[in-house]
Structure 1
């Protein structure tokens, strides 16, 4: 997992927990600033066009106090971080947009996955993103920032949402390829291992669906009652995002159903193999039954054992055992054909 490459900070001056700070102005490339500069710019940005983006590390002890003191970031944002659900959603809190996004690293053959959560507070002229662990969504945004031509806080939000949609689409594509390989190996001798891999993959995809799929209720509330400062075309972009995400989710649901059917097929094959093994053992037991019975009778240490003085007694016993063994074998195979 690639890590974010934060700026080299002078900790004698930089004690705010800010990782990135950018000022966006019309027709100008984004300008990267320090925490002191971003505080000064925020005082004047209300009288100008443009907005500020601040990305902070929540592990830093001063980040929450610094944001509350110098910027219009209320307690609700940090309460949501501490107590709220980590599944993806976008909702309106008064005149602010609150978004929760997730980043995952998918290893089809791994036993675990890595996840990180990004919280976003979107004001009319201020965007605050916060995380505990590095988030690749922000890393990619930082690398492409100069070429994206982002002109408003909502455009930044829409970009991050589209990146998460692309992430889920990539996961579904890679999972499909992995399932294709297992499906091709279905007739091999590794059925048990394939079934275990499919079960683990299915649980992982269901977890990704819970984390990455946006909550529809909060999204529909936002569509019906967006903040006044959000342009209608931005609401339309969000609607388009929701439609595209629903297509990816349908693909994910279809994939999990395909995995379930493969698991049932593998289970059926295992049961058939077990039944065949049990049948072979049953036939062996039936074929050995006549000779065991005869050996038991003639092994008794009592008088009056037949054929004891007959020179052809052993041959007669072999013929008798062979006849009963053939009859038992015929009956066993006849029962198999009837089934």
Structure 2
């Protein structure tokens, strides 16, 4: 990997795809903006928005209107897809990638596509983008149009979601085993992150599906060449994983309800035991309260056996309470 300082602001990597469909050329860090269009093919430029000079670089690239430039430099955290003047631009949701591991934290990929280029920007490294780059290295002949790369990005995002769904399913399996175990355990704290992740992914995925359908319904003269062909395939892919995530969300909700039900049952059992103990202790308390009054002529105050009589009364009151509870079927 090239580790030298970059010539283009925010440059992460870039590819130039020849018009004859041969192997694309990966640009080095010393590449300049003019190197992107030295032939009749198209290029993919991937930029890091952490560099504040990226907007100035985009101003030097031809083919971008003001709305597309704004879409590439925005810091909005919601999905958007716009078709205008044979440009496709907006924001896709993705999952972040750390240097040593992959995460389920959401990130945002901003893009602009025409027949001559695909430009993407981001703040954090993203899982789908990196896998798409690796696939280009392995099988470059599959990608002959910029929209093919867009399809690849969305497809890799779908595969990322499938991977997350499998991980969350395994986590729910473990939680479910504990929930339906005989020993009661409160798994709400462990279930909460799973539900939060599922809800966030499902919300953004539904938005992407709606935007994809809306973009596919745009006028043919407005959309880039080939987008109409891939829009249906991408929508079908996203709908498939959407069903899986919805099922996962429903399963997590049912597990939460089951945990609440078990905890409620356990609380009711404790309250039942406490009520029984109170019922048993209330009559002896009445006896001891009566003999604790500092008044004259209390029973058993004369003689040496008053305490024994009081103990007998306490035991008798407990037995009476037990008989009454059995009589009304509480015990």
CA distance in 2, matches of 1:305, 1:214: 81
Task: Tell me whether 1:230 sits opposite 2:225 in the alignment.
Answer: yes
**What RMSD, in angstroms, separates the aligned Cα atoms of the two structures?**
2.8
Q: Which residue of 1 aligns with 2:136?
A: 145
CA distance in 1, matches of 2:70, 2:137: 33
Q: Which residue of 1 aligns with 2:111?
A: 120
Map Cα deviations across residues 231-255 of structure 1 (whole Å, 9 max, x no partner): 3xx5333212211211211221121
CA distance in 2, matches of 1:129, 1:260: 36
User: Which has the higher relative contact order, 1 or 2, with Cα contacts under 8 A spaced 6 or more apart?
Assistant: 1
Q: Which residue of 1 aligns with 2:251?
A: 258
CA distance in 2, matches of 1:18, 1:311: 100
Q: Which one is further off, 301-310 or 324-333?
A: 301-310
Secondary structure of the 1:191 match is coil
Q: Which residue of 1 aligns with 2:26?
A: 32
Task: Tell me whether 1:91 sits opposite 2:71 in the alignment.
Answer: no
Task: Tell me whether 1:320 sits opposite 2:300 in the alignment.
Answer: no
Q: Following TM superposition, by how much is the alpha carbon of 1:164 offset from its aligned partner in structure 2, in angstroms?
A: 0.5
Gaps of 5+ in 2: none
Q: Following TM superposition, by how much is the alpha carbon of 1:97 offset from its aligned partner in structure 2, in angstroms?
A: 0.9
The structure-2 alpha-carbon separation of the partners of 1:63 and 1:314, relative to structure 1 and needing over 3 Å to count, comes to closer
Alpha-carbon contact 2:55-2:73 (below 8 Å) kept: no
CA distance in 2, matches of 1:260, 1:104: 23
Alpha-carbon contact 2:73-2:121 (below 8 Å) kept: no
Query: TM-score of the superposition, structure 2-length normalised?
Result: 0.85
Secondary structure of the 2:22 match is coil
Match of 1:54 among 45, 62, 76: 45
**Superposition map of 1:279-298 within 5 A:** 279-298=272-291
Q: Which residue of 1 aligns with 2:3?
A: 8
The structure-2 alpha-carbon separation of the partners of 1:51 and 1:290, relative to structure 1 and needing over 3 Å to count, comes to same
Map Cα deviations across residues 96-137 of structure 1 (whole Å, 9 max, x no partner): 011422222599xxxx95332111111101111111222222
**Superposition map of 1:295-306 within 5 A:** 295-306=288-299
CA distance in 2, matches of 1:82, 1:70: 14
Alpha-carbon contact 2:88-2:223 (below 8 Å) kept: no
CA distance in 1, matches of 2:237, 2:292: 81
Task: Tell me whether 1:80 sits opposite 2:80 in the alignment.
Answer: no
Alpha-carbon contact 2:10-2:51 (below 8 Å) kept: yes
CA distance in 2, matches of 1:240, 1:334: 71
Q: Following TM superposition, by how much is the alpha carbon of 1:88 offset from its aligned partner in structure 2, in angstroms?
A: 3.4
CA distance in 1, matches of 2:223, 2:274: 77
Alpha-carbon contact 2:281-2:318 (below 8 Å) kept: yes
The structure-2 alpha-carbon separation of the partners of 1:287 and 1:40, relative to structure 1 and needing over 3 Å to count, comes to closer
Q: Which residue of 2 aligns with 1:161?
A: 154
Gaps of 5+ in 1: none
- Report how many residues are paired: 320
Q: Following TM superposition, by how much is the alpha carbon of 1:307 offset from its aligned partner in structure 2, in angstroms?
A: 3.5
Q: Following TM superposition, by how much is the alpha carbon of 1:327 offset from its aligned partner in structure 2, in angstroms?
A: 1.8
CA distance in 1, matches of 2:118, 2:245: 31
